[in-house]
């Protein structure tokens, strides 16, 4: 069975490793530890295809330890115990240590992560976990405290170009035997499609080589087009990148950057995010960040959501783009949002006061005898349509103010109206 290109070209030395110079470049901290044999438990956090597994294997090689690899997607507590037993036996027979590498450690639940703790603490194994997700959220605090955290970065265009050239010229493990020649434009497009992921880049090259071999044809722009059309940049819809991008979209709208908001909208759509999810979040932005500064925003967000459901993709996505641009360009106010939070906090931290009698409906004779609704004044019948002096809070509370309009958009007028009404109260 022939290994995939990415496995065949896996670096065998630190000098062959591409990228992550901040960690394993000459004189970098992790490299010094590896070269000195100063092994320790660690978490490798970074995007796919940045070398987490390869780095773990190189650490084991340089430090002369046994390497046991598990995938958190497939393994359970039983597999952990078997790995620990193997490490104990290996230590007894050879006196050497074992690195237990667990890929996608964020997939382990709390019990599975807790099962590791005693063996990491007593030195039975050195633990190396790889994750694409933020360890602060996905790894137990107890396990996190026993590991050093190293953050890996997406590969640069220069890094990917280096990987690509090695793949095309290596005749023993790479694609050198196919004598593939790529135009500069094709190279740029392949690197762009790889999007910082060396594994994706090598997979694309492997498909290209297979097409040439099976069709007995020279590499053409047509073949490159067809292969790249099969590749797309999707993200885990529950992962860090997903939430980072929706956060960026929200902040661009809040920061009145229609161009930035449009960019992140397109990034999410390009990555496979559900437009319905985006529509729901956009509606939240309209209420939270625009509010009464432009009350039309909520209606427009609802209309865009409805337009998308009626039109579908890709036509309906234009409605989402339109409303995102509008929201980013609209005056901003979180006054309603903050007023709601203040009122909710007051309610949650206060007794359940009764409704004042004058605000209760007297729908029966008994209620009238109990003075329900007595002394209530109907505002439309009052001079100026305002019942001066009438209160709307429980008697025990007195008057409160939660809503403070900002000096933006329609809230300028709202503030003037409330100031006028409060002036009447005070006069």
Contact 146, 117 (CB under 8 A): yes
Domain-embedded: residue 78: yes
CATH for 250: 1.20.272.10
Per-residue pLDDT averaged across 128-135, rounded? 89
* 173 and 115, same domain (yes or no): no
Distance CA 30, CA 14 (A): 11
Find the CATH number of the domain harbouring 401.
1.10.3710
Q: Per DSSP, what are the bridge partners of residue 102?
A: 70, 129
Q: Is the pLDDT of residue 374 over 90?
A: no
> How far does Cα 131 stand from its chain's mean position?
14
Q: Which residues contact 50 (CB under 8 A, 6 or more apart)?
A: 19, 20, 152, 153, 154, 155, 196, 197, 198
End-to-end CA distance of the chain: 91
* 79 located within any domain: yes
**CATH number of the domain to which 162 belongs:** 1.10.8.60
Residue 181 lies in a domain: yes
* Cα 365 from Cα 363, distance rounded (Å): 7
In this structure, the answer to whether residues 33 and 143 fall within a common structural domain is: yes
Percent residues over pLDDT 90 in the chain = 40
The answer to whether residue 194 is domain-embedded is yes
Domain boundary among 200, 229, 258: 229
CATH number of the domain to which 116 belongs: 3.40.50.300
Residues 367, 263 share a domain = no
Cα distances from 89 to residues 63, 76, 98, 120, 246, in angstroms, run 19, 20, 10, 16, 49
Same domain as 420, residue 317: no
More confident residue, 423 or 39: 39
**121 and 206, same domain (yes or no):** no
pLDDT-derived band at 254 (thresholds 50, 70, 90) equals: very high
Q: Which value, in Å, is the radius of gyration of the alpha carbons in the chain?
A: 31
pLDDT at 56: 94
Which pLDDT score, from 0 to 100, does residue 425 have? 55
Q: Is residue 339 situated within a structural domain?
A: no
pLDDT(232) > 70: no
3-state helix/strand/coil string of 111-122? HHHHHHHHHHHC
Task: Give the structural domain span for 399.
Answer: 348-426
User: What is the token pair recorded at 39?
Assistant: 């092994």
Greater model confidence, 373 or 425: 373
43 and 127 together in one domain? yes
Residue 235 has pLDDT above 80, yes or no: no
- Asked if residue 408 belongs to a domain, the reply is yes
Together in a domain, 271 and 215: no
Looking at residue 184, its pLDDT comes to 83
The domain boundary residue, chosen from 180, 208, 229: 229
Q: What does the mean pLDDT of the chain come to?
A: 87
Neighbours of 380 (CB within 10 A): 7
101 backbone dihedrals φ, ψ, rounded to 5°:
-100, 125
Distance CA 417, CA 397 (A): 24
Total of domains in the chain = 4
Q: Do residue 187 and residue 295 come from a single domain?
A: no
Task: Identify whether residues 102 and 37 lie together within a single domain.
Answer: yes
| Domain termination residue (choose one: 179, 198, 229) | 229
Q: Are residues 34 and 123 in the same domain?
A: yes
Q: Residues 29-72: pLDDT tens digits? A: 899 888 888 889 999 998 888 999 999 999 999 989 999 999 98
The reply to whether 217 and 262 lie within a common domain is no
Query: In the structure encoding, which two tokens stand for residue 8, read together?
Result: 């065949």
Is 316's pLDDT higher than 80? yes
Whether residue 314 is preceded by a cis peptide bond, meaning omega within 30 degrees of 0, is yes
Lowest mean pLDDT among 114-118, 125-129, 209-213: 209-213
Residue with the two structure tokens 């992962």: 239
Mean pLDDT for the stretch of residues 304-308? 94
Q: Is 421 helix (H, G, I), strand (E, B) or coil?
A: helix
Residues 202 and 147 in one domain: no
pLDDT tens-digit map of 217-229: 456 667 777 777 7
Q: Which two tokens stand for residue 293?
A: 């500064």
| Overall average pLDDT of the 351-357 stretch | 88
In this prediction, residue 230 carries a pLDDT of 61
Q: Is the pLDDT of residue 3 over 90?
A: no
Q: What is the pTM of this model?
A: 0.64
Look-up of token digits 């790894």: 139
pLDDT for 2 equals: 66
Q: Is residue 340, in this structure, part of any structural domain at all?
A: no
Q: Please indicate, yes or no, if residue 10 is contained in any of the structural domains.
A: no
- Predicted local confidence at residue 220, as pLDDT: 62
Asked if pLDDT for residue 123 goes beyond 80, the answer is yes
């Amino acid at each position: 069975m022939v290994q995939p290109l990415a496995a065949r070209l896996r670096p065998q030395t630190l000098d062959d490793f591409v990228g992550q110079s901040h960690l394993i470049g000459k004189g970098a901290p992790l490299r010094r530890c590896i070269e000195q044999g100063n092994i320790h438990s660690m978490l490798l956090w970074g995007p796919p295809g940045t070398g987490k597994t390869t780095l773990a294997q190189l650490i084991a090689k340089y430090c002369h330890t046994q390497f046991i690899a598990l995938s958190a997607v497939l393994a359970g507590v039983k597999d952990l115990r078997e790995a620990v037993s193997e490490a104990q036996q290996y230590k007894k027979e050879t006196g050497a240590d074992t690195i237990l590498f667990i890929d996608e450690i964020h997939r382990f639940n709390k019990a599975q992560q807790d099962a590791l703790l005693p063996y990491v603490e007593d030195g039975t194994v050195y633990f190396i976990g790889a994750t694409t997700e933020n360890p602060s959220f996905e790894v137990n605090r107890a396990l996190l405290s026993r590991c050093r955290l190293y953050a890996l970065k997406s590969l640069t265009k220069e890094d990917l170009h280096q990987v690509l050239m090695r793949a095309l010229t290596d005749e023993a493990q790479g694609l050198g035997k196919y004598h593939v020649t790529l135009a500069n434009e094709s190279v740029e497009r392949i690197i762009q499609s790889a999007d910082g992921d060396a594994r994706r880049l090598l997979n694309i090259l492997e498909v290209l080589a297979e097409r040439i071999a099976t069709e007995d044809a020279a590499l053409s722009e047509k073949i490159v087009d067809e292969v790249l059309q099969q590749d797309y940049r999707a993200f885990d819809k529950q992962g860090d990148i997903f939430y980072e991008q929706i956060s960026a979209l929200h902040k661009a709208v809040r920061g009145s950057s229609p161009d930035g908001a449009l960019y992140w909208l397109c990034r999410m759509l390009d990555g496979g995010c559900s437009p319905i999810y985006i529509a729901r979040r956009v509606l939240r932005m309209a209420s939270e960040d625009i509010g009464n500064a432009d009350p039309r925003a909520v209606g427009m967000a609802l209309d865009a959501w409805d337009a998308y459901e009626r039109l579908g993709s890709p036509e309906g996505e234009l409605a989402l783009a339109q409303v995102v641009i509008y929201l980013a360009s609209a005056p901003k106010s979180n006054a309603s949002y903050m007023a709601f939070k203040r009122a909710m906090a007051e309610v949650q931290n206060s007794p359940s006061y009764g409704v004042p009698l004058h605000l209760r409906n007297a729908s029966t004779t008994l209620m009238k005898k109990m003075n329900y609704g007595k002394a209530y004044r109907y505002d439309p019948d009052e001079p100026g349509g305002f019942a001066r002096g009438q209160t709307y809070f429980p008697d025990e509370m007195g008057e409160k103010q939660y809503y403070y309009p900002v000096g933006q958009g329609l809230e300028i007028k709202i503030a003037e109206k409330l100031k006028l009404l409060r002036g009447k109260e005070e006069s």
